[in-house]
Amino acid sequence: MKQITALLMAIMLTLCLLKVKGGDASVVFNLEGGNGVNSVPLTVSLAVNGGISGASVNIIYDYKKVKLAGWEKGAALNCDIISVDDNGFGQLRLVFCASDGYVRGTGELLRLMFDRLPGNPEASFDSVVYVKIDNKAVFDTSYREAAYSSSPGILSFTASKDSFTSEKYTIDIDAGLITDIPPMTTAEEFRAAIGCPVTLSPEGEYITTGTVVTAMTDGVEYICTAVVSGDVNGNGKNDAADYIIVRRIILRMIMPDDIESLAADLNGNGRIDAADYILLRRRIMRQE
């Protein structure tokens, strides 16, 4: 029986200029076979957890063996295909985005139909389907840090840009707190250690216990209160005033509020006691 083969081509896929605003994104190309001698569907799927504000994908194919016959949009994603431009010489450019600006979800983005051109020898499906993605084709100068890996048909991205995170401090978005901030942390140092732009209220030389930090990333606003270790009186430093307050807290002469309690618990064990008092005294003595 004559072998019916669906494909005889090499499709080179090159992907570039994906703008990822935080989170991870991956694009999966899947070349299907076996649904006809002359026509080959290529599905392009996307998995995005951080939102892509807009993207273009360039695909290069062997125009001597196949041609683009048409395309249709997948339904699974929050995404619109803006255009599919084929120059007829093996270069195909896809542009897509979502109506609200951010592509989300996982699923099929679009399906491209390639037709085999007549006159090409038939070949087996297994040996001729060939998908290649060029790592070097991915670039985006707006990335603070981007890493990607590819295996045949899959390209994934990780971008740390614009996420409300910090390697230095502890950010608890649910509790609305940023803790583990050392005394005398300047606003400049603080901003450098946060993964996205923030506004500070009040805006002073130092971050203080009680500074309200507002971050906007991926269209979502986060508001957190800063807690500077040992800074109970809210001037950003560890000083004699803090020492007096901590002593009064331990002696139960005053009742601190939640934020003050966190600032006074220098060793972070959930209690305010002599150990915190000693730590604070040592810090103040070192500064003098």
Longest CA–CA span in the chain (Å) reads 95
* Three-state DSSP class for residue 242: helix
Q: What residue ranges bind Ca ion (CB under 5 A)?
A: 231, 233, 235, 237, 242, 265, 267, 269, 271, 276
Q: How far is CA 191 from the centre of its chain?
A: 18
* Three-state DSSP class for residue 100: coil
Nearest CB to Ca ion, comparing residues 242 and 260: 242
Nearest CB to Ca ion, comparing residues 126 and 203: 203
Q: Is the peptide bond before 183 cis (omega within 30 degrees of 0)?
A: no
CB of 189 to Ca ion, least distance (A): 17
Strand partners, 44: 29, 110
Nearest CB to Ca ion, comparing residues 110 and 181: 181
Q: What is the torsion angle, in degrees rounded to the nearest 10, for the CA atoms of residue 45, residue 47, residue 48 and residue 52?
A: -20
Nearest CB to Ca ion, comparing residues 117 and 241: 241
CB of 210 to Ca ion, least distance (A): 11
Nearest CB to Ca ion, comparing residues 144 and 271: 271
CB of 231 to Ca ion, least distance (A): 4
CB of 245 to Ca ion, least distance (A): 8
CB of 176 to Ca ion, least distance (A): 21
CB of 186 to Ca ion, least distance (A): 15
Q: How far is CA 203 from the centre of its chain?
A: 28
Locate tokens 């901003």: which residue? 191
Q: Which of 281, 211, 210, 279 is nearest to 244 (CA)?
A: 281
Strand partners, 199: 214
Count of Cβ atoms closer than 10 Å to residue 89 Cβ = 9
CB of 241 to Ca ion, least distance (A): 6
Tokens of 277: 């008092």
Query: DSSP assignment, residue 249?
Result: H
Q: What span, in angstroms and rounded, lies between the C-alpha atoms of 102 and 93? A: 20
Nearest CB to Ca ion, comparing residues 142 and 267: 267
Nearest CB to Ca ion, comparing residues 260 and 276: 276
